[in-house]
Structure 1
Amino acid sequence: MKSPLKVHYFQHIAGEGFGSCLSYLKAGHAEITATEFFALPVEQPLELEALPEINDVDLLIIMGGTMSVNDEANFPWLKVEKRWIRRYLAQGKPAIGLCLGGQLIASALGAAVSRNRHQELGWTSVTKVGNVPEGTFELPEVFSVMQWHSETFELPKGAVHLAENSVCRNQMYQLGSNVLGFQFHPEMTPEVLQMFLENDEELAVFNGIYVQNEKELKQSPEHCFEQGNQLLNRAIDYVLAKTAC
């Protein structure tokens, strides 16, 4: 890991910070900065120049959120964010997108994001896709992760499909050697999950056979979080090792 590594993250809702990778990056003495889109004044349009200089970012991590990437009317900063992401990725720099973040990368690159047939909320199993090209990011054959989404992304042009399950086919992709997009939440910690569960309005919009109830989620044992957290740490190392950072 480059020292000091300059990590920038895009945060879309209050309370959904860096999750598990904060301590991992701090242990590597990374310099961490953030753009908090949820805190931007509504009456003041976001200018592209207000976002970081691309050359000042060594690693971009795009967090989740409750909005749709398609809802630019209510969240006009989405259009500016996607423009910045396109410019950043055009320089071959490393990026990781988590849930909404994975959808934003896909959307920025022209792939569709739309309602999934089923909502997913809770702990689910995800399966590694077979016959991926040699050298792509290595996944366990089956692993358990936290899901929290209603929409899903199509794969960006040129992306490699890495993971799937029966509820939502596109769970993870890789683009080139520098981009990993997740549909699930590998960064989830007990503390972040508790903050998610405190959002009653968000919970109210989820229902169906693939939605775990609040009581079960509150009782999630700590070992449930470990596999996703370790996966995200490896993903960070992978995109950094594969790029000139």
Structure 2
Amino acid sequence: MPYMKSHLKVHYFQHIAGEGFGSCYDFLKSHNAKITATEFFALPVDLPLEIEALPHIEDVDLLIIMGGNISVNDEANYPWLKIEKRWLRRYLASGKPAIGLCLGGQLIANALGAAVSHSAYYELGWTTVQRVRNIPENCFQLPDQLKVLQWHSECFEIPKGAVHLAENQMCRNQMYQIGKNVLGFQFHPEITPQTLEMFLDNDDQIEVFKGDVLPSLAELKKTNKTYFQEGNQLLNQAIEYVLEAS
């Protein structure tokens, strides 16, 4: 296992009440990481967020940006999005490690000027993503294909200068890499049985999905626990990879 800094200071941006840190919490705590969070979902929408209220960049060794049921484009209803993106640009310019998960991957991409828009096909449930062909050898290495959990109605364009890592037929842009210290995911490698149950019990999480996709929710509740392992292991490897660059 690569060297991991002792007492690593990990900060995560949380956009859903109760979501927590997903599968990587135990992994990071096993390395004595100090974990802190900014809970954007708890911010009053009628009060402006000052950028000074967010962490000092020098106090963060690793940033993990979680998912959410909002659009990165909805700054009118969630004015703190502007501040979050502005802080992200500063953090990314510092060259520090960051991982974006679903909405988090969209936020990094959008903060760097890439478009985020409604997907032609919504993705909800377990799907297969493929490794993009001809990825440079010095990039984060993926297996040829992965079974992962999807939960999104929007998708990101690959940011300028980033390397496209993973795709599938429903949504071409599933994962990207910026430098060696930033990885953006459209899917949810962090998902745990507990988090999936929370998603399924949250009406706000499923209201954007219509029609044929809804009957699959009953099947999702029966997901075998072995399904979660592949994504969880991938996320641990991704954390190690971006930390190696720091």
TM-score by length of 1: 0.97
Q: Does residue 155 in structure 1 map to residue 158 in structure 2?
A: yes
Contact 1:118/1:210 (8 A) holds in 2: no
* Gap runs ≥5 in structure 1: none
Between the aligned partners of 1:196 and 1:148, the Cα distance in structure 2 is 9
Q: Show CA shifts across 1:165-190 (max 9, x none).
A: 00000000000010000000000000
Between the aligned partners of 2:239 and 2:188, the Cα distance in structure 1 is 14
Q: Does residue 190 in structure 1 map to residue 193 in structure 2?
A: yes
Greater shift, 33-42 or 115-124, is seen at 33-42
* Aligned match of 1:27: 30
- Aligned-partner residue type, residue 64 of structure 2: I
Report the 3-state secondary structure (helix = DSSP H, G, I; strand = E; otherwise coil) of the residue aligned with 1:156: coil
- Give the direction of change, closer, same or farther, for the CA distance of 1:210–1:139 in structure 2 (3 Å limit): farther
Q: Does residue 164 in structure 1 map to residue 167 in structure 2?
A: yes
* Aligned match of 1:206: 209
Between the aligned partners of 2:162 and 2:95, the Cα distance in structure 1 is 14
Report the 3-state secondary structure (helix = DSSP H, G, I; strand = E; otherwise coil) of the residue aligned with 2:147: strand
Shift of 1:40: 1.2
Between the aligned partners of 1:176 and 1:102, the Cα distance in structure 2 is 15
Between the aligned partners of 1:235 and 1:229, the Cα distance in structure 2 is 10
| Correspondence 1:1-12 to 2 at 5 A | 1-12=4-15
Between the aligned partners of 2:204 and 2:83, the Cα distance in structure 1 is 27
- Give the direction of change, closer, same or farther, for the CA distance of 1:197–1:210 in structure 2 (3 Å limit): closer
Contact 2:131/2:144 (8 A) holds in 1: yes
Between the aligned partners of 2:180 and 2:78, the Cα distance in structure 1 is 31
**1:235 maps to which of 219, 223, 238:** 238
Between the aligned partners of 1:208 and 1:122, the Cα distance in structure 2 is 14
Pairwise CA RMSD of aligned residues? 1.1
* Aligned match of 1:98: 101
**1:67 maps to which of 70, 73, 88:** 70
Between the aligned partners of 1:151 and 1:42, the Cα distance in structure 2 is 22
Contact 1:119/1:211 (8 A) holds in 2: no
| Correspondence 1:171-186 to 2 at 5 A | 171-186=174-189
Identity %: 70
* Aligned match of 1:122: 125
- Give the direction of change, closer, same or farther, for the CA distance of 1:132–1:144 in structure 2 (3 Å limit): same
Equivalent pairs counted in the alignment come to: 243
- Give the direction of change, closer, same or farther, for the CA distance of 1:139–1:208 in structure 2 (3 Å limit): farther
Shift of 1:209: 5.4
| Correspondence 1:74-89 to 2 at 5 A | 74-89=77-92
* Aligned match of 1:140: 143
**2:113 maps to which of 84, 100, 110:** 110
TM-score by length of 2: 0.96
Shift of 1:207: 3.0
Contact 1:186/1:232 (8 A) holds in 2: yes
Shift of 1:214: 1.3
* Gap runs ≥5 in structure 2: none
Q: Show CA shifts across 1:175-227 (max 9, x none).
A: 00100000000000000000000012432321355666111000000000000
- Give the direction of change, closer, same or farther, for the CA distance of 1:206–1:122 in structure 2 (3 Å limit): same
Between the aligned partners of 2:14 and 2:118, the Cα distance in structure 1 is 22
